[in-house]
Structure formats: C-alpha cells, structure tokens
Structure 1
Amino acid sequence: MERRHFLAMLAAGAVAASGCTQPPPALAEPPSGAAGPAAVPIPPRPVHRVPIPAGALTAIPGPGSNLALTVDDGADPDVVGAYIRFARDTGARFTFFVTAAFEAWHTHRAALRPLVESGQIQLGNHTWDHAGLTTISRTAMAEQFTRSKQFLLDTYGVDGTPFYRPPFGYHNAVVDEVAADHGYAVPTLWYGSLADSGLITEEHLLKCARTYFTAQAIVIGHANHPPVTRVYGQLLDIIRERGLSLVTLNDVFRT
C-alpha cells in the first residue's frame, strides 16, 4: 500500500477516539510522546506479577498502583524517537505495539534495542501494516502476524509474544485463533485512551491523561503525531501526583 494512503487510513481510524469520553474497550484508539529536560525520573517499584486472565486484556487485575502505557503504530519517526528519549531520560517503562511496516522501527533500531533488551521497553505485535483483521482472509491474517513477527525477531531479537493488539481494536474468535497459532494468545485492548491516533491539541491529550491515568489501567496512545512529545513533563506530573508506577505488560503479567 502506498505510504501516504496508508497514513491517511490510519488517521481516519482515529475518529472514534477523538473524544475523551470512555469508548467501548474493543473500539478505541490512542497515544505518542517525548520528554523535556525538566522531566524528573520516577524510579521503578517492585511489582507483583499475576497470571494473564482469560480473554482480551483491558486492565491489570487486582489491587495495585500500576499504569500500563501502551503506544501503538509508529507513523512518525520523530515521535518514536521522542518516546525513546523519554524512556532514557526518565526511566519510564511502557510497551510499544509495533506496526512493523513503518520505517520508524528501522530508523531507531540502534537506540531502541538496548531498552528492549533491558526490559525497560517491551514490544508487542500490532500487525504488519495495520490491516483490519476482521475484514481479511485467514491467509492474509496469518501473513500480518508472520511478517511482523519475523521483523521483530530480525530487528530486536524478540517476537512480542504472547501480546498482540488488533488494529482499531477489532477482533473476533477467528482472529484470536489465527493470532494464537502464531504465538499471540493475548489480545490486548485498553480501558483508557490519550485519543491521539489522529492529530489533537496538547490540552486535549492532557485532559484524556487526567481522565484515564488511574491505578491498574491499560491506556493506549500512538506514536503518530507530535503533541504528545511536548507534554511528557506534564504526563509525569500526573503519574507522580497520583502515586502511579509505569510498567510494561511483562512487568505485571506472568507469561
């Protein structure tokens, strides 16, 4: 698919998430980000790991003060790079759901791979080119997973299993079966969005963060547009004020 057309389709998928009202967990979309020099690191805390519950993930079960920020796509290489700097500057822990066809994941391999190897940043599978999985054949679904899985292995030495995020949140029993056949047994959704799969204002993004940065939440964001890169300090302020701890999915789930 021609890159400009692909990006336009991705932006169109943001309409359902452009507001900050709570979307149905299977239909939302969200964040991206970066840190400024004033951002103060938040040290990681010991985390009690729990078994992965059956079905699609929308939150971290049980009591706790964890926040799983999950960042999708990677349409803008500058935003991916800013997220990487955010992690290096502050110690922030989060999960990228990689749309492997985006060139940002090639561009930033050298900077990102050490963070992946240390476990500070986790990678999950967001398919090869963000196809709507419920609208394509089983063979095409399988290709979406195999191509992205091989890319992750070749580029970062991990395959992202068992977590996958279906594009647009759309999945069904057939999608989950095909995903599981390739090692992705955990469809990972969310219960809170930064609403930034499309271009929004910094103010709106922060409003969404104040709404959804809560204990044991899985929040979705996107590395597609620059506003998030200008509010990392404010995002950390919200996390700090609420006593939350940023975690990857592997930090909190036993796999």
Structure 2
Amino acid sequence: MWFAGVGLTRDGYRIAVVDGEGRPVGAAERYERCAQQRPVARLAELAGRAPDGLTVVVDSAGGLLDGLLATAGLDVRRADPHLLVDGRNTAEELAGVGQARFGALVPLPPGSWIMTGREQEVSAAEAAAGPVERRLAAEGRCLLGGGEDSEPTVALTFDDGPHPENTQRVLELLRRHDVRATFFCIGLNALAHPALVRRIVEEGHLLGNHTWSHAYLPDLGREGLRQQLDFTAEVLAEASGVGQPVLMRPPYGGRSPQLMERVADLGLTTVLWDVDTEDWAEPGAEVIAERVLRQVRPGSVVLMHDGGGDRSQTVAALPRIIDGLRRRGYRFVTPAELLTGRPRTATR
C-alpha cells in the first residue's frame, strides 16, 4: 500500500507519497495557484498505480479537499492532533503518519466532513466559547447576528469562494438588485482566482477571511492559526489592492474560548451568523429562501455559500430572498455596519 500526504504551502498544495515500508515513491510534487481539481486528479492517478491501493492522509486543516477526494473514490483518512504538530504538517509528515499509524487514522467516506467522529467535542467547544463570544460582542470584536437594532437591517454573507462560476453568478444578481454583500474567501481559492477577488471589491462588496484551507481552527496552535489567517489576508490584499480584511469567519463555525481570544489578539473581528440557510445540503431554492424569510430579524447575518460545491440553488433563491426582504422594509448592510460602534473600515 502507498500513503499520500497532502500538505499546504503559501503557494498551494504539496503531495508526498511513501510505500508500506516508509520509503518515498518519487519526489514530492507541488501544485501552485490552482483549483483543487488538479491535486485531486493527480491523487486519483496515483491510486490507479499503487500496487495495493492508496490512502490519502489529511489533517483537520484539510477541509477544502476531503470531500472532493472521497467523492473521487479515494480512501481518505484524517490524522488527529495527538499524532501531529500544530496544524502545520508537511506532506511528508502526513504520509509518514499514514504508514506508521494507519490504525489511528479516522476514515472520511463520501458524505462525511473533516471532523467526522468528533462531533461531541466540536459542540462542547462551541458551547464553552459562549461567554467569550458575548464579551467580545459587547466590545465590538465579535458579531453574533440578530442584535438589538431598531432598524430593519440585514447582512448577506457568502462563504467558501471565490468560485469561477458560482461567484460570478452571485455577483451579477447582486449588481442587478443593487445589493451590497460580504464574501468570506478561502485563501487557496483566492490564490487560484485573484480576478474574482478584485471584482468583488470593485463592485462594492466586502471581503472577509475564511482561512487558507477551510481548517477546523480549534485544532491549531498559535503558529498554525497565524499561518491560516495571515496567508489568506496577504493573498486577499494582493488581489484586491484594498488592504487586509479585519473580518474573519471560522469554517464550520468551529470555535473554542481559546480560539476566540487568539483571533481577537490578532486584531480580527469574528463574524458568526443567526440565519443559516444550510444551502450546502442543496435542499432546493424554495427551502433556502423560506429559511431566510422565516428566521430573519433586525440585525441578522445570513449565511450562504458561493463555493464548496454546486450552488445553483443558492443563486436561484437569491432574487426571492432580496425581493422578500425588501418588501418587509429591510435594508442591506455589511457586518461592519452591524458591529458595536458601527465602524466603516473593514481593512487594515
């Protein structure tokens, strides 16, 4: 059996493969400034060559690739923190862990997510973060959504882009309806599609940081967290020309008391949500729109997605959402305008 580790670099992805004895199978390969399909296709090719099969090893920072790899029919397994160091694991280290500690890896079959098997731990960490979130919200350093606004305002937000098809379709609808929104971008996607980042800003929308690789942030130490956020901020600033975003949204909403404090210490404001469309599950455009119109209240933050899969249902729901909210007198704003003190600056 061969074991492939998928590591992350400032320029993209790195793949290293070892055999059942821990010996390298060829040289490590780099895939830079590209969409995820290239490394996924290469791993599928390697799986066809492996004498007794291939296992792909990721860590909890690999949330951008795990689903695509599993859907491609690959054996994907997660190495948890006790096997690793700080979420900054190289491709070689992950491949080596696969070979040496195969029985300790967690399978990630199609339909699972990067934290499969640890759901209770994830929920407990989120619950424990509540007091810190409320304190930071009172200080204007965290936005929970659904505040005490007397005005009917709402912030539309989109996660996981930019995507070459979905993001353009969302932008066109927002332009047509004269609505300003906020896009929480994944750094690796922004690296692959910088022109879309520029377009988002040029059309008057706000950028937010959604980490480098859709990582589950509570698993990371200080340096791993810094790299996930700094790499993304640098790429967004380079592509947009408007500075680094100060708004950050943790993938999966994954958070802990320690994470919330560390993000605030880095000078970033965490933006959560109170209206979850769950559009990632593709429930249908009518259901997506109904969920927004049923749950929204003054000061709401609506979570949608322009990346991470087929978002045609989200695109189809968007006009109904906008028209329905306008009929109720809602005004579309950004998270920066909903924060305590209503700061207008969203970059640094």
Q: Scaled by the length of structure 2, what TM-score is found?
A: 0.56
Residue 140 of structure 1 aligns with an amino acid whose one-letter code is G
Specify the alignment match of 1:36 in structure 2: none
What is the deviation of 1:181?
A: 3.6
* 1:224-239 equivalence runs, <5 A: 224=307, 225-239=311-325
* 1:144-163 equivalence runs, <5 A: 144-156=228-240, 157-161=242-246, 163=247
What is the deviation of 1:75?
A: 6.3
What is the deviation of 1:124?
A: 1.1
What is the deviation of 1:134?
A: 0.7
Change (3 A) 1:137 1:14: closer
Q: CA–CA distance in 2 between the matches of 1:198 and 1:247?
A: 26
What is the deviation of 1:203?
A: 2.2
**What count of residue pairs does the alignment treat as equivalent?**
219
Change (3 A) 1:56 1:180: closer
Query: What SS class does the counterpart of residue 129 from structure 1 fall into?
Result: coil
Structure 2 gaps of 5+ residues are: 1-5, 7-12, 14-35, 41-63, 69-110, 116-122, 128-135, 344-348
Contact 1:214 1:244 in 2 (8 A): no
Query: What SS class does the counterpart of residue 67 from structure 1 fall into?
Result: strand
Q: Could you report, residue by residue, the CA deviation over 1:188-235 in whole angstroms, capped at 9, with x for unpaired residues?
A: 111111111233311221221222233221111111322111233211
Of 219, 224, 237 in structure 1, the residue corresponding to residue 302 of structure 2 is: 219
Of 271, 275, 280 in structure 2, the residue corresponding to residue 192 of structure 1 is: 275
1:63 pairs with 2:150: yes
Residue 197 of structure 1 aligns with an amino acid whose one-letter code is W
What is the deviation of 1:107?
A: 4.3
1:178 pairs with 2:266: no
Q: CA–CA distance in 2 between the matches of 1:181 and 1:236?
A: 36
Specify the alignment match of 2:292 in structure 1: 209
Q: After TM superposition, where is structure 1 displaced by more than 4 Å over at least 4 residues in a row?
A: 10-15
Of 108, 111, 125 in structure 1, the residue corresponding to residue 199 of structure 2 is: 111
Q: Could you report, residue by residue, the CA deviation over 1:47-100 in whole angstroms, capped at 9, with x for unpaired residues?
A: xxxx96336421243311001111111164211111211222121111111112
Contact 2:201 2:207 in 1 (8 A): no
Q: CA–CA distance in 2 between the matches of 1:57 and 1:113?
A: 22
1:252 pairs with 2:338: yes
Q: CA–CA distance in 2 between the matches of 1:233 and 1:57?
A: 25
1:98 pairs with 2:185: yes
Structure 1 gaps of 5+ residues are: 16-22, 28-50
Q: CA–CA distance in 2 between the matches of 1:221 and 1:230?
A: 12
Change (3 A) 1:105 1:113: farther
Change (3 A) 1:14 1:246: farther
What is the deviation of 1:180?
A: 2.7
What is the deviation of 1:13?
A: 4.8
What is the deviation of 1:105?
A: 4.2
After superposing the two structures, state which structure 1 stretch, 135-144 or 198-207, moved more: 198-207
What is the deviation of 1:112?
A: 2.2
Q: CA–CA distance in 1 between the matches of 2:301 and 2:216?
A: 22
Q: CA–CA distance in 2 between the matches of 1:247 and 1:12?
A: 34
Contact 1:7 1:75 in 2 (8 A): no
Considering Cα pairs closer than 8 Å and 6+ residues apart, tell me whether 1 or 2 has the greater RCO. 1
Residue 247 of structure 1 aligns with an amino acid whose one-letter code is V
Change (3 A) 1:56 1:9: farther
Q: Scaled by the length of structure 1, what TM-score is found?
A: 0.75
Q: CA–CA distance in 2 between the matches of 1:110 and 1:175?
A: 30
Q: CA–CA distance in 2 between the matches of 1:70 and 1:14?
A: 23
Query: What SS class does the counterpart of residue 171 from structure 1 fall into?
Result: coil
Contact 2:161 2:167 in 1 (8 A): yes
Contact 1:13 1:168 in 2 (8 A): no
What is the deviation of 1:14?
A: 11
Query: What SS class does the counterpart of residue 158 from structure 1 fall into?
Result: coil
Residue 205 of structure 1 aligns with an amino acid whose one-letter code is I
Higher CA-based Rg: 2
Identity of aligned residues (%): 22
Q: CA–CA distance in 1 between the matches of 2:176 and 2:323?
A: 15
Contact 1:133 1:166 in 2 (8 A): yes
Contact 2:200 2:206 in 1 (8 A): no
